[in-house]
Chain A
């Protein structure tokens, strides 16, 4: 559009109805363009087309997912804790004592493939601004990452770049990175997943909403200047699959400035404290287009913007480019005229540029019926005159066709029971070490050591513990715990059950820290919604999550959908990443996952029931390269009971550690607990192969506080949680005994297997 020779005004549009516009290049379908013409009663100006094309893109409008996401609201359990539900920038949950918490996870997958460092960095920046916009101080971040095979050449480009981007942005912003996930599978090779979560804390009274009430109120843009970065990112990058032209899309990735974001955070919090803001919105995907249409739509419906007042980094930008720019670190506020001077003074104190660019206007009844009226001018000429709600709220909604893929039955019939199992103790021992050394199970320290988890001084638990935990402030013992989980192999086998398994795992991880799960956020990563098989996976996955949340009483408070994670015909494993938030009254009672020193001789229990469930397991994947059968059964009632036992055991001081069982089963759990604490254990098993590698859900390893064994097992009995005595903590080896023999692995050998993989591929530190 930059080649457009002259300004395309509303007046021009009215007199040149037949001028062709490049709607297809902007990712807009022919019938969508026809609808824009019908709404406006004329052809759109190029500026209006820019707005509609980004606002109606898959990324901004959720046009393919909306019909499925509705059930998160329809099936939402009654929860007194939910203060703000879905639809705002992020949901808000009451965590007691007048504190509220807001949290959300969002994808930045496509930009992170094109330019891993900046793609991942700006992913962190974007989600932090979403949380800030709710009026909360961001207090921690997490990230869930998926890459292609660890040894693939391109993974050596993408993974270090993504990690350095998260490290660069998050560390410089001063937010502790308290956890996340790392996974590898071939399908992610050209479709890495970078899902960033942020959590913020505020007092109940501090909740702010994206709205623009009050005609005469001023519209202020503050933060970074607007440049040509990320233009069309929302519609071009996030809504189309990669093909050979992806190299040509490089300029569409945004560039982040975490220092400016830090100033923007502190400045905004001060503006909130001083009561200088009546509504606020961050500028993310679709930039000024999104913030103006959404703020206007949520307010009077009326807004007038002088687009030429937007401060630019590059004076050659056209109005269309300004509307589509995704320059980072920008916010838009609605400010009462009488408070504008104070607003500007606070921005100046933080060296944050702020510019009044327009005002909220009245709308007539007629205009209200059409969806409000947003008018934008460029040096006095009107270039946009449209009903904002038609762009923000009334975009296209698709009932995409979906069908169960034909290979689904064959996948189920390929049962892992047919796989050869280890026949001797030596083989069993060797396979345990192989699973422990595999990229999806091994020590992620090469990654997590690049993230600051101490800053702000409230981090109680962080990676490698089961969930991250932060104290809400210095003045309280109250804290929150967070975990994210999602197992693409399970979801590939059965999207309904697999999604529930991911959710159950995050729920269990939060419970294993001693916290009580409260609410959910989700990032749904899938292939192309135009593929009926992918759409079936999506429909099943959302149905599974909504059903599970209904049973366990944890509402979905918000999240994000990322489609088009596929190359050619091959989609990624469907990968819903589920974040669960929990609350703990007293963080000093939290449970770590390590066998600490001083626990020598403590009795070790396995809580929950182990079945022969190896479909989608780490063992089948690592040892046999096999993916087939069914994922482990999900029993939500058992998860709820287990969670109650873990939280109560923490509160009453009955346990000294707890570690959930998931990828790699008991084998991985025991090894991890031993390595984290530098203390071994000795366990006795009936059927060592199944007990070590099965990935049955609703299980955890717990060490009883000496003297509290009976109280702990009594607690299990009261909640119908099955338990078995595994053995004892102690020594400097992992010792497994069974009726006909056993084996031992020293901690040194375990550590070598667990820690060597990532440094070997990505380079040794130090």
Chain B
């Protein structure tokens, strides 16, 4: 079967076409989902892409969580059935929706930061990271103004204890994130939020590496769909 991966477009989504490209690159079919339709069209997994949904004018992700498309998505994600990856603004939306704990606040520098970023994949037991080796270091793109991950001390302890810190920044946090956290998962491991952009690290021509491909092949493996063999 060819896996069908939904990519949601909110007003102000920007990296939706990039997420769709990454899905195509691993041989799956991207399905465009519109924010205003309370219908997931039976997709096998969903990506909430980067961008500035609704201009991020209230608080990043705060308005998007109320979009009609979220009404079907939230229960399916909570049940552990539907794999969901939130990238950047998508991560913020997952936190605002309480699908993931914690919050993303302004970068410590108070500036937007755009750079190649080295990460360590801490957990390979989520739906989106199974193809990585635990502890593997990868290079992806970080580009965000509000990527500073914060959570209550007991929440951080719980995340660490349960192995739900999915990725950490290597070489210090570029945005002030607690414990250098770059991504976390829910308790089922089907919902992952990630501040850096793996979909911008899928092609040597336009990205700093191809290390990001693993997120997309991982979900295919998780779904039991055919996974392309690495072509180098």
Contact = CB atoms under 8 A, between A and B. Distances in A.
A71 interface: no
Interface string B197-212: 1011001011100000
A259 B12 contact: yes
B118 interface: no
Interface stretch (B77-85, B153-161, B172-180, B224-232): B172-180
Contacts of B141: 454
Nearest to B15: A455
B137 interface: no
B17 A259 contact: no
B207 A454 contact: yes
A459 B11 contact: no
A259 B174 CA distance: 26
A766 B108 contact: yes
B14 interface: yes
Contacts of B199: 457
B68 interface: no
B206 A450 contact: no
Contact of B111 (A167, A259, A471): A167
B148 to A, nearest CB: 11
Interface residues of A, number: 35
Given A174-B51, A263-B11, A587-B205, A457 B114 contact: no
A452 B114 contact: yes
Given A451-B114, A454-B114, A257 B55 contact: yes
Contact of B205 (A174, A450, A460): A460
Among A168, A174, A450, A764, residue most surrounded by chain B Cβ atoms (within 10 Å)? A174
Contacts of A588: 205
Among B12, B18, B172, residue most surrounded by chain A Cβ atoms (within 10 Å)? B12
B222 interface: no
B59 interface: no
B121 to A, nearest CB: 20
Contacts of B21: 457, 474
A259 B51 CA distance: 10
Contact of A259 (B11, B108, B175): B11
A454 B57 CA distance: 23
A351 B11 contact: yes
A167 to B, nearest CB: 5
Main secondary structure, interface of A, reads: loop
Contacts of A474: 21
Given A258-B55, A259-B52, A167 B205 contact: no
Interface residues of B, number: 36
Contacts of B111: 164, 167, 449-450, 765
A457 B200 contact: yes
B98 interface: no
Nearest to A762: B111
A763 B109 contact: yes
A171 interface: yes
Among A456, A764, A766, residue most surrounded by chain B Cβ atoms (within 10 Å)? A766
A475 B214 CA distance: 23
B143 interface: yes
A453 interface: yes
Among B21, B108, B206, residue most surrounded by chain A Cβ atoms (within 10 Å)? B206
B105 to A, nearest CB: 15
Nearest to A479: B205
A277 interface: no
Given A259-B54, A449-B113, A449-B114, A457 B17 contact: yes
Given A172-B12, A458-B206, 9 more contacts: A450-B113, A450-B114, A451-B112, A452-B112, A454-B143, A460-B205, A765-B174, A766-B109, A766-B176
20 contacts: A172-B12, A172-B56, A174-B14, A258-B52, A262-B52, A449-B113, A452-B114, A452-B143, A453-B114, A454-B143, A455-B50, A456-B17, A457-B17, A457-B206, A457-B207, A471-B205, A474-B21, A763-B109, A765-B111, A766-B175
A-B residue pairs, 5 tightest by C-beta: A259-B55, A174-B14, A457-B18, A765-B109, A454-B200
Interface of A: 164, 167-168, 171-172, 174, 257-260, 262-263, 350-351, 448-460, 471, 474, 587-588, 763-766
